Structure 1
Amino acid sequence: MNVLGAWKPVSRGLGLALALGAGVALAGAGTAFAASKTSVTLGMAIEPAGLDPTIAAPVAIGQVTWQNIFEGLTTIDKAGKVQPQLAESWKISEDGKTYTFKLRQGVTFHNGVAFDSSVGKYTIERARGADSVNPQKRYFASIDSVETPDAATLVLKLKQPAGSLLYWLGWPASSMVEPKSAADNKVTPVGTGPFKFVSWAKGSKVDLARNADYWNKSAPVKLETASFRFIADAQAQAAALKAGDVDAFPEFGAPELMESFKDDQKLATVIGNTELKVVAGMNNGRKPFNDKRVRQALMMAVDRETVVEGAWSGFGTPIGSHYTPNDRGYKDLTGTYAYDTEKAKALLAEAGYPNGLTFTIKAPQMAYAQRTSQILQALFAEIGVTMNIETTEFPAKWVADVLKAADYDMTIIAHAEPMDIDIYGRDPYYFNYKNPVFNDILKKVEATSDPAEQDKLYGEAQTMLANDVPALFLFVMPKLGVWDKKLKGLWENEPIPSNVLTEVHWEE
């Protein structure tokens, strides 16, 4: 197993008295093996509210359906690279404004309807239309028109170049949908993928079965059936794994329990990387956070190693900007406004707060957010800053108060979208960060299709955020996987939130 060194637990002690409730007990230490070598049961902490990734944003939707039920023109592989899928090839015009896709032939949806250019046109028009509720609708805004010269050719005419278009087309929100079944995909999804939807027992599980008519004969799927079981409680997750009730928890929810599997003869622990960037966002449009010096001082009050140790049992990688080490063009900027309490105090005094200040953080109920808030509270106290913690129910209350109304001082959330540094250029967005120079960098990224130039520009964008500190950049959460040692083919890393079953099989 490739257990990445970047995710080694931080060994440094906390030095802070924190009651994080790490005491837990395990139950049901059974040794049952998989009932069938052609079936698998995967555990998930969160049950999706629907099964159509083209109409809603929660990552749990794609973790059940993306690449299992639904496919796109392109796809993202386990290394995070763009690969052909329902489009077997494409050509880009010299001005970067015309994309001509050659579509794969002989592909049918699970209801028997053929996939062709008319379906591609329908899907993209639906995603970019005035009434679209697609969670990534903004990424389709650059498309001016969609043409279908013949059944196997799809042409996208753009208003301006979009250097990341092929990448965006591989996301769950860009999945191809069949027109007649699209309206019902939320409850009975129909795609072109290697698995068909069978049933959904709300509150319990989703069942899938192998698609015997799957187009990709060069990579036959070995599983006949797959189930996603929803278990929210961490102790129940551990008990289900120990008892063999689930074969895998690709995203195990309790880092403090990982050690309990260390000597297990049946279960393997696999630590990989994700795109989950934990940041403490500040309202840049509200005092005192409209003063860059205050934001910089708070950043210098944060010892990221202490945060990782206390919030996620030492699992995680500190970050200095809104970017992960597995993203292209990554720069390690953790040294920008590094931990230094004396400098932090001096900068606060320079900003007009020699006696500190008081504010409130709106923290969702999730364990990582609550724990991180407690640690930040203790760290800020060391520079004379009082931070009150207000637990804010996620998603409804947090979305209403923070994301939509921007009614907050500070908040904390793990941003899951890959390469989403552009959120700091969106207007409106909850940070209220306004920087025309930053926005120009993002425009230049999209105006070029040269990877080297894009990487350089991404580096400039990261550096600008590290200096301006619109949010406190803390750490990337790891992918904590626990699964049967005989189960092979699960993704160890997560370049995009998913549970891809295509290569999953049992070792003989």
Structure 2
Amino acid sequence: MTHMLKTTSLASVLALTASMAVAQQTDLTIGLQLEPPHLDPTSAAAGAIDSVLYANVFEGLTRFGPDGSVGPGLATSWEISEDGLTYTFTLAEGVKFHDGTTFDAEDVKFSLDRARAEDSANAQKALFAGISEVTVVDPQTVEVTLSAPDGNFLFNLAWGDAVIVAPESIENIKTTPIGTGAFMFDNWVQGDRIDLVRNEEYWGAPAYLDSATFKFISDPTAAFAAMMAEDLDAFYAFPAPENLPQFDADPRFKVIVGSTEGETILAMNNKMPPFDDVRVREAVAHAINRQEIIDGALFGYGSPIGTHFAPHHPDYVDLTDISDYDPEKSKALLEEAGIETPIQVKMTLPPPSYARRGGEIIAAQLRQVGIEPQIENVEWAQWLETTFRGKDYGLTIVSHTEPLDINIYARPDYYFQYDNPDFQALMEKVAVESDPEARSEMFKTAQTTIAEDYVNAYLMQLPLLTVAKTGLMGLWPNAPTQATDLTGVTWEE
């Protein structure tokens, strides 16, 4: 009898242990290289904010899907007037912000009016420049009137800069983001991590995960160590591509290789001598060996580009020949421009590996033609303040991860300060053109114009390299926008 009791107890323990072993994991710790400077996606250019908050905490009227398509978000449907000027949005019902306040048409009006206001701090204010009026029809209906038709309007509203925020919580949004998404902000330990928890009252399909932690690890070696030790469940945009073969060979992990919208450029300050001379900019472009940068900084991952346009886009034109590697031509152009070499120029490099590693390679290439970059490694917040906003630089390396963003070249006050009235007029025509073939031709002209003006040196399309534990499902393989959407992420049963 005693023996039987002991046997039964042991069986119960084994059964319990087995059930615990197969219990599905409901939390996630995911690594990112860049930490956001603050948590308001509507008032900063830092893509790192969207990386944590887009779709997870904040939502817009429309949203990007994993394939880059635009679909419904907080607006479940819309009607467009025949003249293309009026968009009438029907809003999702029963939506609440994470602080319990109700989401309605007033919040949409507040968000869009704030984004387009004269004193707006929105980094993509141009997205909203065509809005002439936002009208609340009733709590579930909002009407947006444009000053001219805009074939990109629904696309623009899907950006992280266009998410809907509330007047009740706007004051503290930079440290306590209050959105409508499937996850709620829980905690931010600056320099370490951001914690999210599932929104139990989410209006749409609930998240599978109970909680998620974004862990910020800027050093590639530390990122590798953290994954190998299984301190992380995944690392999105893994910064050490040289380690990918080790993960590929380890059954605990899988490597996901995708693409981003990230045109990686060596930006030149077009209003700062000597880069105000197109011959000098062309000399820089011809001094650069793209494949050497791709091999040395990204270990062979990435595609060469010759203009500011994604190669996977159907309207892309391969213009790499316009800025082919030709150091002798670079030297001749510098001589023609009257530049006495060697000439020193300030090069600022933000933290990502493509910038720091790529910058060292580019600096060596430029020295071969008489240009001496003075490298300053800066943190992301400092880059945004002094390079992006302050325009205190000669050269810098950055990846532009916003989708279809060639229109930034139509902004003379943008950080590379390219001022071409003809290009600006072309972008105005693109904005109102609805015929796909005509738009395609305009995009091709735009790509060629900036390539021939050597506005920047176009390097490569940034790959998306993600390492994850084998059982993790639902991460986006590609990045049609800078986001780490966890709303569909789950663990294999």
Report the TM-score, using the length of structure 1 for normalisation. 0.86
Name the aligned partner's letter for residue 412 of structure 1.
I
Distance 1:34 1:365 in 2: 43
Match in the other structure for 2:152: 164
- Alignment partners' CA distance in 2, 1:375 and 1:237: 22
How much has 1:505 moved relative to structure 2?
A: 0.9
Query: Who is 1:23 aligned against?
Result: none
Judged with a 3 Å threshold, the aligned counterparts in structure 2 of structure 1 residues 298 and 134 are, in CA distance, closer, same or farther, namely: closer
- 2:115, 2:122 within 8 Å by CA — same for their partners in 1? yes
Note the C-alpha offset of 1:80. Answer: 1.1
**Contact residue 373 and residue 389 of structure 1 kept, 8 A:** no
CA contact (8 A) 1:361 1:412 kept: no
Task: Choose 42-51 or 441-450, whichever is displaced more.
Answer: 42-51
In structure 1, what is the equivalent of residue 104 of structure 2?
116
Partner Cα separation in structure 1 for residue 59 and residue 197 of structure 2: 16
Taking the aligned partners of 2:194 and 2:382, their CA distance within structure 1 comes to 27
For residues 126 and 186 of structure 1, what CA distance do their matches in structure 2 show? 15
Counterpart residue type for residue 363 of structure 2: Q
Q: Aligned pair in 2 of structure 1 residues 35, 42: CA closer, same or farther (>3 Å)?
A: farther
1:474 is aligned, of 443, 446, 459, to: 459
Displacement, 1:50?
A: 2.5
**Larger helix share, 1 or 2:** 2
Q: Is residue 396 of structure 2 the alignment partner of residue 408 of structure 1? A: no
- Amino acid across the alignment from 2:164: M
Contact 1:75 1:171 in 2 (8 A): yes
1:81 equivalent among 40, 62, 69 = 69
- What CA deviation, in whole Å up to 9, does each residue of 1:320-342 have, x standing for no partner? 00112234522221122322334
Whose radius of gyration is greater, 1 or 2?
2
Q: Is the 8 A contact 2:347 2:376 kept in 1?
A: yes
Q: Is the 8 A contact 1:279 1:471 kept in 2?
A: yes
For 2:214, what is the secondary structure of its paired residue?
strand
Residues 1:502 and 2:490 are matched in the alignment:
no
Gaps of 5+ in 1: 1-32
* Residue 319 of structure 1 pairs with residue 320 of structure 2: no
Write the mapping of 1:356-375 to structure 2, written as runs, cut at 5 A: 357-366=342-351, 367-375=353-361
Matching residue of 1:440: 425
| Displacement of 1:486 | 0.8
Partner of 2:115: 127
Partner of 2:10 in structure 1?
A: none
Q: Aligned residues: percent identity?
A: 42
2:413 corresponds in structure 1 to: 428
Q: CA deviation at 1:139?
A: 1.8
Deviation at 1:113? 2.8
Determine the structure 2 residue equivalent to 1:458.
443
Distance 2:225 2:367 in 1: 39
Contact (CA 8 Å) 1:392, 1:398: kept in 2 or not? no
Compared CA separation, residues 43 and 304, structure 1 to 2 (3 A): same
Q: Return the offset for 1:397.
A: 4.6
Aligned to 1:487: 472
The Cα shift of 1:386 comes to: 2.9
Q: Let me know the Cα RMSD of the aligned residues.
A: 2.3
TM-superposed deviation, 1:267: 0.7
**Match of residue 53, structure 1, among 27, 41, 55:** 41
Deviation at 1:266, TM superposition (A): 0.4
**Post-superposition CA distance 1:263-311 (Å, at most 9, x none):** 1110111121112222112232344333323322332222211111112
Contact 2:356 2:377 survives alignment (8 Å): no
1:83-116 Cα shifts (integer Å, max 9, x gaps): 1111112222233222111222232222333322
Once the two structures are superposed, residues 208-233 of structure 1 have per-residue CA deviations (whole angstroms, 9 ceiling, x without a partner) of 2222222224xx43222222222232
- Partner in structure 2 of residue 298 of structure 1: 284
Q: Using the alignment, how far apart are the partners of 1:404 and 1:56 within structure 2?
A: 10
The reply on whether 1:248 has 2:234 as its aligned counterpart is yes
Residue in 2 aligned with 1:6?
Answer: none
Asked if 1 retains the 8 angstrom alpha-carbon contact of 2:366 and 2:373, the reply is no
Task: Report the counterpart of residue 245 of structure 2 in structure 1.
Answer: 259
Give me the TM-score of the superposition, normalised by structure 2: 0.89
- 1:29-53 CA-partner distances (Å, limit 9, x unpaired): xxxx998522211112222233221
- 5+ residue gaps, structure 2, are 1-20
Whichever residue aligns with residue 316 of structure 1, its letter is: G
Where 2:225 maps in the other structure, the secondary structure is helix
Amino acid at match of 1:439: Q
Going from structure 1 to structure 2, the CA distance change for 1:408 and 1:123 (only over 3 Å counts) comes to closer
Shift of 1:472: 0.6
Q: CA deviation at 1:463?
A: 0.8
SS of 1:271's equivalent in the other structure is strand
More displaced 10-residue stretch of structure 1: 53-62 or 440-449: 53-62
Q: Tell me if 1:200 matches 2:218.
A: no
Distance 1:409 1:462 in 2: 23
Q: How does 1:192-231 map to 2 (within 5 A)?
A: 192-217=180-205, 220-231=206-217
Structure 2 residue identity aligned to 1:460: T
Q: Contact 1:311 / 1:371 at 8 angstroms: preserved in 2?
A: yes
Deviations 1:216-267 (A, max 9, x none): 24xx432222222222322222222122221000121222222332311101
Q: Which amino acid aligns with 1:298?
A: V
| Of 86, 89, 97, the match for 1:101 | 89
Q: How far is the alpha carbon of 1:346 from its aligned partner?
A: 4.1
Specify the SS of the correspondent of 2:251: coil
Q: CA deviation at 1:444?
A: 0.8
2:258 equivalent to 1:272: yes
